Structure 1
């Protein structure tokens, strides 16, 4: 497939996005750069969920974090505790919460930590002396978000629900899709970018010339540091934002 766009999220996400892009005449390849593996619950994590009503805000940073966190919520709380602001970074992470009727707030001017922190509710939260925030996430990530909340005097705890791994056989699979004519790649996290760079190996000097769509200025800067020079920043990481960016900056024949 000549001039294909490589999608690198989880298989179901890639398939959904590929259908939409291919309907627009954009050829796609699929290769997840991350393997997401749920982690076993620890005693400390159990206490966080049992004490959920201590928090004024719960932030969900990914669709998988939302799904796994809701499984824990259902286990420990037959009725969701009141008085919590439920926040999501973007539409994908918000959807599982909305599906069970939780009143989720999410930014409308971006899908990153900075946009989330611009929500008006933080004005009153940061005025509290006892602000407590729980972040549902994978192992590691979103430190900037927690740092800003702590700098304002808040307490931040993490409910870490899954870990990210480099998929087995990624270098071989990447070589195979590259040989089929890939000219662009969608990379939606810093860790995915790192795994792409590592898996490319000696072919990195060529792959870094691919047009690279990323979700934020922070990931764009990291891509530039690795030598990528054709980087497009999407206005978020959801399907609509990616499609809009790909149409605005199409691959050249």
Structure 2
């Protein structure tokens, strides 16, 4: 995939996509900006508000994504001091960097892997009897991390600070690219994004062309979803970072 002029569909939310687009353009390719997910702030329930006010009851606070950090931290206001007294765990490099940018000092991050499974391999979360954990995330995320922490003896609560929605976008240009088989690859960052893409392309011929278009995904879980839908050419990036996605584009490695 190293020829110039290749069109790469970048489907990340608008506020997160620009760096990846720059990397694509540095290769002499064309980045097609087409967000399939819109990130919006969630309304905080009264119960979640209480959890914010009682941060000192939690020994561990998990931030599932950079979006979780960026939507949560404004809610803490004067409670930053309480957050400094607990241990924050970032699922990935982006959330780690975001926490550090806000001045949070005690931040742990997995040495390898950037998902719930990598978090659960950390020494700090093996025996959690008598401990309380707060998971800060978007609405509707997986329950795997919380269930696993509870199995290890923890009391676990959620703070859901954002939600994913389908953006209002004009799909005519995307339809044209798919119809013409003009896309060299599509970057997919979540199962929700993949489902939204299918909703936008309902005609049989379009779907046939779409399923033959190479896609780059961020995990085996999204790979399995794509495979079940019928995608023929799936590449798994080592992680969700821009560098890993670019590496997968360049090398086409870890094909599903």
Identify the residue that residue 96 of structure 2 maps to in structure 1.
94
Q: CA deviation at 1:104?
A: 1.7
What is the 5 A alignment of 1:10-159? 10-73=13-76, 75-102=77-104, 103-123=106-126, 126=127, 128-159=128-159
CA distance in 1, matches of 2:37, 2:52: 27
User: Could you state the TM-score of these two structures normalised by the residue count of structure 2?
Assistant: 0.88
Q: How many residues align?
A: 246
Structure 1: unaligned runs, 5 residues or longer: none
Q: CA deviation at 1:15?
A: 1.7
Structure 1 residues 177 and 54 mapped into 2: Cα distance closer, same or farther (>3 Å)?
farther
Q: CA deviation at 1:172?
A: 3.7
Structure 1 residues 176 and 88 mapped into 2: Cα distance closer, same or farther (>3 Å)?
farther
Structure 2: unaligned runs, 5 residues or longer: none
Structure 1 residues 169 and 19 mapped into 2: Cα distance closer, same or farther (>3 Å)?
closer
CA distance in 2, matches of 1:129, 1:173: 54
User: Which structure would you say has the larger RCO, counting Cα contacts within 8 Å and 6 or more residues apart?
Assistant: 1
Q: CA deviation at 1:95?
A: 1.7
The runs of at least 4 consecutive aligned structure 1 residues that moved more than 6 Å come to none
CA distance in 2, matches of 1:3, 1:231: 17
1:199-224 CA distance string (max 9 Å, x none): 22122221111111111111111110
Q: CA deviation at 1:38?
A: 0.7
1:94-146 CA distance string (max 9 Å, x none): 222011232321123211111121122112xx2x3222211111111131111
1:13-40 CA distance string (max 9 Å, x none): 2221111121122321110001111122
Task: Work out whether residues 136 and 160 of structure 1, in 8 Å CA contact, stay in contact via their aligned partners in 2.
Answer: yes
CA distance in 2, matches of 1:78, 1:62: 19
Name the SS of the counterpart of 2:81 in structure 1. coil
Task: Work out whether residues 55 and 82 of structure 2, in 8 Å CA contact, stay in contact via their aligned partners in 1.
Answer: no
CA distance in 1, matches of 2:55, 2:195: 34
